Structure 1
Amino acid sequence: MKKILMIGTGGTIACKQTDAGLTPGLNAEDILSYIPAVKHICTVEAIQVLNLDSTNVTPKHWKIIVKAIEENYSNYDGFVICHGTDTLAYTAAALSYMIQNSAKPIVITGSQKPISKDVTDAKSNLLNSFIYAADDESQNVNIVFDGKVICGTRAKKERAKSFNAFSSINFPYLAIIQDERIIRYIPEVPVRGIPCFYYEMSDKVTLLKLYPGMNPDILSYLFSNYDIIVIESFGVGGMPESLMEKFYEEMDNLAGTDKLAVMTTQVANEGSNMTVYEVGRQIKQDFHMIESYDMTLEATITKLMWLRGMNYSNARLREAFYTEINKDILFKKS
């Protein structure tokens, strides 16, 4: 029987009702007590490393989770992380870059309702996570939620209340879990070699979401204070005419530095392609801009945090950004 380590971090799954609203109050052992059927699936031990509403999760908390997995990696066959849903997709993407080449499964799950409620998705999500973590073919960082297995770099929370909160963006579900059986849609290519653990995540990456009528002066502030600006543009990616003069001025000032602008899209599905329209083609050509193509915003942000944390030059960062990690990018035309 496989030996799995459950890592508690708080989140809705661990919440109790208080006068001030729901707040994490159950520890990992408490949560486990609600799914006694797990003893037929695997042997479970539990640790609590955080006790947060996931709104409060930051890169320093990702490092704590990574450290817990690295320190226990040789002692367990897999890991299940209980996490709040609001930033779960960011954590799954971040862990995909911070823990690479893992032949052991690292499963992240949570719930839309606390596990202590009579009506909850927590029990099925957690039990399914152990089923997936205890399977011989499971590996790397994935999310298990609502009976679906989502690659860690491909998830997005698209529903605030419904149990089917997460979708897999621009990539199929890896598997579904029905009646305690895993039905795999995509066979895993077995991981070879040893796992790699990373801890440095740069805080010099920021996001600019474009909207009609935006004041161009914001560009000066962001380029002065951050190394990488991810521009969340409209459609397949471009720059409004009202921002173009200031954008060119700032990009010209960055010439010869290690600062970058990276283009992504506000549209969840089908990705960017800056060469389609004049508003994107010209700036991509003039500045050889990186764009995210079919990557999720969560993966784009966390991958750039990781790459800038590695202190790569712009040329090496560009190459590494377009290098696929845990199925994060398929379409590449750098």
Structure 2
Amino acid sequence: MKRILLLATGGTIASRPTAAGGLAPMITSDELLACVPELAGVCHMDAVQLFNLDSTSVGPAQWAQIAAEVRRRYDDYDGFVITHGTDTMAYTAAALSYMIQQSPKPVVLTGSQKSIYNRDTDARNNLYRAVLYACHDTAWGVQLVFDGKVILGTRARKTRTKSFNAFSSIDYPNTAEFRDLRLIPFLPRPAEYGQVRFYEKLDPSVFVLRLIPGMRADIIPLLADHCKALILESFGVGGLPGGDDGELFAAVRDWCAAGRLVVFTTQVPHEGSDLGVYEVGRAAKALPGVLEARDMTPEAAAVKLMWALGQSCDRAEVSRLFLTPVQFDVV
């Protein structure tokens, strides 16, 4: 039997009703396992309660804690399953993809739309299948298992707020899928996944600004004292209203002239950015310090930038790290 470590972090899957009428994480890691007794016949499991938080409260400090625990116990287990709230699970999946790279062992995130406290919800099914995947000989890397789908950590996005099929793989195939309890692998473990690489540092001084028609440009200088990098969610394939004669272009030019980075992405859910298509984007693309997220998810782009800033203070090196593909985050 394989050895799997469950790392519990809270979320809806571990929630109970409070006296005020809402849900809050209160169920422990051992209680989670007790809710799915069938797991005893699948593998040998140990459980650790890292923290018990609503996922809206999970961020870089918690990502570092999860990665450190996986690193500390990596040689003792064949795989890892992390239970997590759904609201920020895509961010955590992306963060772990950059902090735990080229892992031949699976690091699997899962959660649910309804608590495991309730009967006949998605919670037990998702946890059971996450463990099944972690035990499978074809499993690898940081993955998210939800509603029978296995999704790369860098490609996962929450696309529904209430339905059980809450997560989608954006512009990339699923790693695998379950047909009932049978796993059908689609993407094999890459040949280079032989020696895991762990990273510890993240720099969260990143701000994401969504452009809207008529937005004033003077919002950008206000961020200068707080952020090293700015992600602009632009329209369509990307660009700045007014082109190189506009106030937004001047603000971005001044931001980059101070040694900071700007990453352009798109508000459109699929197919990514391409600043070279229109003149309003071409001038911005030519500025030193301007990068493109291309077809990266917004979650992956934001977290990868935090990771790259955590590795270097040199803008050229941060740019290189950001543009280098990691676990198929950009193609």
Q: Is TM (by shorter chain) over 0.5?
A: yes
TM-score range, shorter chain: over 0.9
- Residue pair 1:155, 1:166 contacting (<8 A) in 2 also: yes
For 2:93, the equivalent position in structure 1 comes to 92
Identity %: 46
**CA deviations over 1:194-222 (Å, ceiling 9, x no partner):** 32221211121110011112122101112
CA offset at residue 241 of structure 1? 1.9
Larger displacement relative to structure 2 (254-263 or 221-230): 254-263
Counterparts of 1:101 and 1:186, CA distance in 2: 14
Counterparts of 1:318 and 1:273, CA distance in 2: 17
1:12 and 2:12 correspond? yes
- Residue pair 1:262, 1:289 contacting (<8 A) in 2 also: yes
- Residue pair 2:244, 2:284 contacting (<8 A) in 1 also: no
The normalised TM-score by structure 2 is 0.95
- Residue pair 2:289, 2:315 contacting (<8 A) in 1 also: no
Counterparts of 1:318 and 1:193, CA distance in 2: 26
- Classify the secondary structure of the residue corresponding to 1:268: coil
- Residue pair 1:234, 1:266 contacting (<8 A) in 2 also: yes
- Classify the secondary structure of the residue corresponding to 1:19: coil
Counterparts of 1:305 and 1:243, CA distance in 2: 28
CA offset at residue 291 of structure 1? 0.6
- Classify the secondary structure of the residue corresponding to 2:220: helix
Counterparts of 2:245 and 2:83, CA distance in 1: 44
Letter in 2 for 1:110: G
For 1:204, the equivalent position in structure 2 comes to 205
- Residue pair 1:113, 1:119 contacting (<8 A) in 2 also: no
**CA deviations over 1:44-76 (Å, ceiling 9, x no partner):** 110000100001111001111111111111110
- Residue pair 2:256, 2:290 contacting (<8 A) in 1 also: no
Task: Supply the RMSD in Å over aligned alpha carbons.
Answer: 1.6
- Classify the secondary structure of the residue corresponding to 1:46: strand
Larger displacement relative to structure 2 (183-192 or 69-78): 183-192
Q: How many residues align?
A: 330
For 1:163, the equivalent position in structure 2 comes to 164
The normalised TM-score by structure 1 is 0.95
CA offset at residue 189 of structure 1? 2.1
- Classify the secondary structure of the residue corresponding to 1:61: helix
For 1:111, the equivalent position in structure 2 comes to 112
User: 4+ runs of 1 displaced by more than 6 Å?
Assistant: none
For 1:182, the equivalent position in structure 2 comes to 183
Counterparts of 1:194 and 1:200, CA distance in 2: 19
- Classify the secondary structure of the residue corresponding to 1:72: helix
Relative to structure 1, the CA distance from residue 295 to residue 85 in structure 2 (aligned partners, 3 Å threshold; closer, same or farther) is same
Counterparts of 1:255 and 1:110, CA distance in 2: 40
Letter in 1 for 2:14: A
For 1:299, the equivalent position in structure 2 comes to 300
For 1:282, the equivalent position in structure 2 comes to 283
**CA deviations over 1:254-303 (Å, ceiling 9, x no partner):** 45543111100111111111111222122112446211111000000000
For 2:222, the equivalent position in structure 1 comes to 221
Counterparts of 1:121 and 1:255, CA distance in 2: 46
Letter in 2 for 1:260: L
CA offset at residue 169 of structure 1? 0.4
CA offset at residue 24 of structure 1? 0.4
Letter in 1 for 2:94: A
- Residue pair 1:258, 1:313 contacting (<8 A) in 2 also: no
- Residue pair 1:103, 1:190 contacting (<8 A) in 2 also: no
CA offset at residue 312 of structure 1? 4.2
